[in-house]
């Protein structure tokens, strides 16, 4: 039976004293949820729903760009699609999905009974719903959804209709939710580790999330400030960014990217953590260079605060500014390289098998690194002058966000879903999902490098005819990629959630290590109610 969809109470045979609680059942179980596993499940389902919504918008964009000329949407609606695709994917899909992973796995990995603040956990999930409704609902407001790009650059935002205010409000709520989630994760990790689980014995997923949570707490208020100033510029006659009143539109960009650059690491660090769990498990060999992995993650996080203006090389920065941000950005390649080398050293002379989680992890390393290389190229200010705001940038950040974050999440899903649901996913279908996603992903985004080099600007509803072939290819790939994710949901995720499939062993992966594999599959509703006694490596429960 599945721990995910079945009502509470089935975990009776685990002797953890579930019967002592009278946890609500039916809809109350979810609305009043305080259990980290239930909340994690809801986060993941919410994120997948938003992934589909954002995906439909992406397909709207690709359908319009299939051929030159406007066939399906007008340019105004096209801009709404690109804007909302970005906002929904970043704030609705990727960030909540990782919080879902954290909710499920952090307490299990550190031997904690639940998250530190169970009711705040409930609130931070349920805040997402009105925010998402408001964001998606903005399409039906007068003038349509915000169309100023996901970066919401002033002063274009000042021209937007009322939906801009709805969007700003939604972002405020999503930000509040993220901050609460982050505080919860920090407090849980710092205070609720089982005795013997020292920080430097903690699984890397918990480490990357600890660092990510600090990043979130540091930068979400900065975004809130930027969009609040936009709001007051729009309605209360201030002129922070409005040049008509002496405001500075470039100031908006500085503030936004001070949030925005750490944000991209917020979206990738937890994926690093997942891959660092999956690769050793299937190489049957301990993670190489654990300590340097932790330090590399921390270095990336710290450097992420001093590179923001590499998004702004074309705004007309002084020479020294361009040089500083170019050097700082290129420095990030060093700790990121260390991570990739460590993963490969973990594989080296291992005893590898390639079940679906490992395929996703290796796919992640391979394709994410390509995104890393284009990142290095874009970091070079003189080349960036050519490529800024072209499809090259679009290709780059989809290589790190789709092939990076999303592939990392799929690795995590296939790796941990046996623990969540108590059944094994269908291996053949998992492999079909992986290979079709990998192939279609590259068909979609690889040609965009060429479009960018040739100078096709991004956010264009129509384009010169010389760009037609690559656009057509990308559109075909996009539809294939979208269908692959529907396939995943219908034929992999749903059956697993319904408990269909081979029963999962307590530790279905031969080489996996960690406390999550010390409890039965599916994980009982309550785990580690009394702190477990750990062995010296803090990966096994003794006694």
Partner 1 sequence: MPHLSSLCRHVAQASLLLGAGLATSAAVAVNNLPGGPAVNQLDLHPPVTKIAAEQQWLHYYIMALCVVIFVAVFGVMFYSIFKHRKSKGAKSANFHESVAVEIAWTVVPFVIVIAMALPATKVVVAMKDTTNADLTIKATGYQWKWGYDYMKGEGEGIGFLSTLDVTHREMSDSGKPAATDDYLLKVDNPLVVPVDKKIRIVLTANDVIHAFMVPAFGIKQDAMPGFVRDTWFRAEKTGDFYGQCAELCGKEHAYMPIHVKVLSAPDYAKWVDGQKKAMAASADDPAKQWQLDELVARGEKVYADNCAACHQASGMGAGPIKALVASPVVLDADKTKQIATLLNGAANGAMPAWKQLSDTELAAVITYTKNSWTNKTGQLVQPAEVVAARK
Residues 140-169 that bind partner 1 (CB under 8 A): 142-144, 147-149, 153, 155-156, 158-159, 161
Min CB(313)–partner 1 separation in Å: 9
| Span from 130-138, 173-181, 366-374, 525-533 in contact with partner 1 (CB under 8 A) | 366-374
Residues 193-252 that bind partner 1 (CB under 8 A): 234, 243-244, 246-250
Rank residues 168 and 519 by Cβ distance to partner 1 and give the closer one: 168
Q: Is 423 helix (H, G, I), strand (E, B) or coil?
A: strand
Rank residues 304 and 369 by Cβ distance to partner 1 and give the closer one: 369
- DSSP lists the bridge partners of residue 407 as none
Q: 455: which residues sit within 8 A by CB, 6+ positions away?
A: 386, 390
Residue of 110, 287, 300, 409 that binds partner 1 (CB under 8 A) = 287
**Residue 302 binds partner 1 (CB under 8 A):** no
Rank residues 90 and 523 by Cβ distance to partner 1 and give the closer one: 90
Nearest to 464 by CA among 1, 67, 44: 67
Min CB(65)–partner 1 separation in Å: 11
**Residue 470 binds partner 1 (CB under 8 A):** yes
Structure tokens at 199: 């920080």
**Residue 447 binds partner 1 (CB under 8 A):** yes
Residue 522, preceding peptide bond in cis (omega within 30° of 0):
yes
Residues 42-101 that bind partner 1 (CB under 8 A): 67-71, 74-76, 79
**Cα Rg, the chain, nearest whole Å:** 23
Instruction: Please work out the total of residues on this chain that contact partner 1, with binding judged by CB under 8 A.
Output: 107
- DSSP lists the bridge partners of residue 457 as 390
Residue with tokens 């074309």: 314
Rank residues 187 and 380 by Cβ distance to partner 1 and give the closer one: 380
| Span from 3-11, 261-269, 332-340, 535-543 in contact with partner 1 (CB under 8 A) | 332-340
Rank residues 25 and 466 by Cβ distance to partner 1 and give the closer one: 466
In angstroms, the CA 185 to CA 190 distance is 8
**Residue 110 binds partner 1 (CB under 8 A):** no
Count Cα neighbours of 258 within 13 Å in the Cβ-side half-sphere: 15
Q: For the chain, how many residues are written? A: 543
Residue of 63, 224, 333, 439 that binds partner 1 (CB under 8 A) = 333
Min CB(416)–partner 1 separation in Å: 21
With beta carbons less than 8 A apart as the criterion, state whether 175 and 223 touch: yes
Rank residues 180 and 461 by Cβ distance to partner 1 and give the closer one: 461
**Residue 298 binds partner 1 (CB under 8 A):** no
Instruction: Please give the C-alpha separations between residue 212 and each of 38, 206, 297, 321, 491, in angstroms, as whole numbers.
Output: 22, 10, 9, 27, 32
Residue of 373, 486, 506, 542 that binds partner 1 (CB under 8 A) = 373
**Residue 265 binds partner 1 (CB under 8 A):** no
**Tell me, what DSSP letter sits at residue 3?**
T
Min CB(293)–partner 1 separation in Å: 10
**Residue 352 binds partner 1 (CB under 8 A):** yes
Residues 311-330 that bind partner 1 (CB under 8 A): 314-316, 318-319, 322-323, 326-327, 330
Rank residues 48 and 414 by Cβ distance to partner 1 and give the closer one: 414
Rank residues 254 and 498 by Cβ distance to partner 1 and give the closer one: 254
Residues 386-415 that bind partner 1 (CB under 8 A): 386, 388-390
Show the CA angle centred on residue 72, arms to residues 67 and 73, nearest 5°: 110
Structure tokens at 50: 């938003």
Residue 390 — φ and ψ, nearest 5°?
-110, 180
Report the catalytic residues: 85, 114, 150, 177-178, 261, 263, 265, 276, 310-311, 336, 339, 458
Q: 121: which residues sit within 8 A by CB, 6+ positions away?
A: 34, 36, 39, 103, 115, 180, 181, 184
**Residue 466 binds partner 1 (CB under 8 A):** yes
Structure tokens at 95: 């960030």
**Tell me, what DSSP letter sits at residue 14?**
G
In angstroms, the CA 434 to CA 412 distance is 13
In angstroms, the CA 340 to CA 346 distance is 10
């Amino acid at each position: 039976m599945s721990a995910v969809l079945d009502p509470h109470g089935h975990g009776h045979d685990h002797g953890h004293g579930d019967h002592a609680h009278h946890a609500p059942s039916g809809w109350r179980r979810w609305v009043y949820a305080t259990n980290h596993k239930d909340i994690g499940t809801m986060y993941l389902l919410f994120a997948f729903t938003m992934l589909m919504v954002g995906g439909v918008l992406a397909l709207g964009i690709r359908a319009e760009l299939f051929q030159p000329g406007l066939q399906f949407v007008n340019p105004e609606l096209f801009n709404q699609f690109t804007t909302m695709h970005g906002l929904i994917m970043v704030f609705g899909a990727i960030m909540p999905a990782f919080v879902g992973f954290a909710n499920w796995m952090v307490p299990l990995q550190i031997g904690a009974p639940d998250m530190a603040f169970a009711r705040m956990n409930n609130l931070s999930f349920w805040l997402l719903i009105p925010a998402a409704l408001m964001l998606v609902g903005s399409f039906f407001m007068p003038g349509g959804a915000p169309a100023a790009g996901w970066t919401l650059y002033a002063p274009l935002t000042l021209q937007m209709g009322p939906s801009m205010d709805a969007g700003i409000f939604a972002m405020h709520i999503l930000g509040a939710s993220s901050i609460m989630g982050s505080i919860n994760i920090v407090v849980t990790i710092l205070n609720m580790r089982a005795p013997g689980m020292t920080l430097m014995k903690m699984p890397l997923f918990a480490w990357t999330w600890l660092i990510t949570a600090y990043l979130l707490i540091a930068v979400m208020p900065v975004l809130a400030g930027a969009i609040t100033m936009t709001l007051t510029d729009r309605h209360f006659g201030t002129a922070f960014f409005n040049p008509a009143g002496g405001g500075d539109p470039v100031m908006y960009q500085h503030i936004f990217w001070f949030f925005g650059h750490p944000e991209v690491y917020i979206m990738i660090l937890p994926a690093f953590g997942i891959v660092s769990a999956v690769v050793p498990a299937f190489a049957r060999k301990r993670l190489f260079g654990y300590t340097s992995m932790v330090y590399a993650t921390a270095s990336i996080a710290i450097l992420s605060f001093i590179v923001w203006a590499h998004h702004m090389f074309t705004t007309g920065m002084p020479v020294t500014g361009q040089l500083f941000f170019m050097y700082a950005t290129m420095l990030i390649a060093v700790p990121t390289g260390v991570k990739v080398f460590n993963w490969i050293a973990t594989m080296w002379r291992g005893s590898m098998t390639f079940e679906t989680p490992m395929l996703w992890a290796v796919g992640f390393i391979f394709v994410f690194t390509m995104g890393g290389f284009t990142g290095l190229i874009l970091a070079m200010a003189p080349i960036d002058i050519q490529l800024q705001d072209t499809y090259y940038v679009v290709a780059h950040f989809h290589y790190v966000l789709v092939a990076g974050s999303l592939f990392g999440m799929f690795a995590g899903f296939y790796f941990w879903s046996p623990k969540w649901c108590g059944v094994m996913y269908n291996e053949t279908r998992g492999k079909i999902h992986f290979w079709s996603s990998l192939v279609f992903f590259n068909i979609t985004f690889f040609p965009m490098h060429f479009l960018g080099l040739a100078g096709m600007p991004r956010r264009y509803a129509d384009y010169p005819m010389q760009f037609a072939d690559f656009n057509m290819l990308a559109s075909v790939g996009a539809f294939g990629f979208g269908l692959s994710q529907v396939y995943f949901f219908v034929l992999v995720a749903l059956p697993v959630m319904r408990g269909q499939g081979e029963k999962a062993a307590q530790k279905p992966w031969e080489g996996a290590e960690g406390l999550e594999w010390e409890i039965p599959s599916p994980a009982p509703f309550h785990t580690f109610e009394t702190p477990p006694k750990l062995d010296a490596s803090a990966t096994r429960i003794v006694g």
